[in-house]
Amino acid sequence: MKVGIINVTGYSGSELARILRRHPEVKIASVTGRSAAGQRLGEVFPHLDSLGLTIEPELSGSLDLVFSALPHKASAEACIPALHQGVKVVDISADFRLKQADEYEEWYGVAHQEPSLLEEAVYGLTELHRDEIRAARLVANPGCYPTSAILALAPAVAADIIGPDIIVSSLSGVSGGGRSLTMSNHFSEVNENAFAYAVNGHRHLPEIVQELNPLAAQPVKLTFQTHLIPMTRGILSTCYAPFSNPGDWMGDEGKQRLADIYRDYYSGHPFVRIAPAPPQTKHTLGNNMCLLHPVIDHRTGRLTVISCLDNLVKGAAGQAVQNMNLMAGFPEDTSLDELAVYP
């Protein structure tokens, strides 16, 4: 299968190249980048030198599937022509994630270019939409935060064991902000520092609500707060919600039952694991796992679920390849079974 990567020069794009290199069924046939067109890929990313690719201004040749790793708006502009030419698309940007065009406009500040595609696009959180993804021609790969939050909360929401008052407090490594230069990824500003940002609402919020609500008995009331911390890769989300019936979750029995709900929900899903202890982002560095750990707070009758993943793998390029595997009929874990690099 021949694939193209639009905007290989960002972190999601370069991570796609790293992962796809070991894919036995895929040939990376064309890669593009805006400012770096004409350069060898190895000049920009020495670790990718052995791929022998040259960065092009536009995709070239006949392709079976295209990944777009552009920012929103630019991504739709690049994906729509490809779709119209019959090429399958996995879009890592936010452009096809939200089902409502007005909601897209509200959060992203631009009108959507082809709202009819929003209905067709499948939200690419693989564990929730595996079958639809198999049949999709356009997959909207989820954001890194939503992947961690939705996977953490879906089992409890679907089992109707928690109320709607949900708080997601998330930490992100700096690579989540991309490769562009900003004060919030300047080393001297971020190192030995931690802070909350997007206090008036992060753009990933509506995705989380959109995906949880269909599973929920009543609409969730979500507070979602993001924080930047001094590491390169990793998302850690700590999710808080009240149990509907706190009395049901006493003792070891409650603990066991909760673990069972989580294990059952992700049974048959190779990239979600229920960890026996609070998981660490480093346990996912470079690999495609999402680790979950649900905890019962007996003092208050609340559920806490801790979730972590590598924002560039399960939170971006890895999940994109997982979705591509389904779309192409390959085993879901092809080229995704590498272990985390630890320490």
Catalytic residue numbers read 144
Q: Among 7, 14, 148, 325, which residue sits at the site for a second copy (rule: CB under 8 A)?
A: 14
Q: Minimal CA–CA distance to 65: which of 95, 33, 91, 87?
A: 87
- Quote the crossing angle between the two packed helices 144-158 and 205-212, to the nearest 10°: 30
To a second copy, the closest distance from the beta carbon of 25 in angstroms equals 17
Decide whether 86 or 187 has the Cβ nearer to a second copy: 187
To a second copy, the closest distance from the beta carbon of 289 in angstroms equals 9
Decide whether 57 or 342 has the Cβ nearer to a second copy: 342
297 CB-side CA count, 13 A: 14
Decide whether 165 or 260 has the Cβ nearer to a second copy: 165
34 part of the interface to a second copy, by CB under 8 A? no
250: Cβ–Cβ under 8 A, 6 or more apart, which residues?
298
Q: What is the DSSP letter of 102?
A: H
Alpha carbon distance 339, 286 (integer Å) = 8
Alpha carbon distance 71, 170 (integer Å) = 22
To a second copy, the closest distance from the beta carbon of 249 in angstroms equals 14
Q: Among 175, 319, 323, 335, which residue sits at the site for a second copy (rule: CB under 8 A)?
A: 175
Residues between 294 and 313 that touch a second copy (CB under 8 A): 295, 297, 299-300, 302, 304, 306, 308
Residues between 226 and 255 that touch a second copy (CB under 8 A): 227, 229-234, 236, 238, 240, 242
Stretch 40-59: interaction string toward a second copy, x if CB under 8 A: -----xxxxxx---------
State the number of binding residues for a second copy (CB under 8 A): 82
Stretch 268-287: interaction string toward a second copy, x if CB under 8 A: -----x-x-xxxxxxxxxxx
Q: What is the DSSP letter of 248?
A: G
Residues between 134 and 153 that touch a second copy (CB under 8 A): none
Q: Which residue has the tokens 């690719």?
A: 53
267 part of the interface to a second copy, by CB under 8 A? no
Alpha carbon distance 343, 331 (integer Å) = 29
Q: Which amino acid is at 322?
A: Q
Decide whether 108 or 240 has the Cβ nearer to a second copy: 240
Residues between 187 and 206 that touch a second copy (CB under 8 A): 187-197, 199-201
- Take residue 117 and report the two structure tokens written for it: 């595609």
Span of 26-34, 39-47, 125-133, 153-161 interacting with a second copy by CB under 8 A: 39-47
Alpha carbon distance 226, 202 (integer Å) = 7
- Take residue 283 and report the two structure tokens written for it: 């346990």
256 part of the interface to a second copy, by CB under 8 A? no
Span of 82-90, 114-122, 180-188, 261-269 interacting with a second copy by CB under 8 A: 180-188
- Take residue 29 and report the two structure tokens written for it: 């046939």
Q: Minimal CA–CA distance to 237: which of 342, 343, 166, 332?
A: 166
Q: Minimal CA–CA distance to 77: which of 40, 37, 117?
A: 117
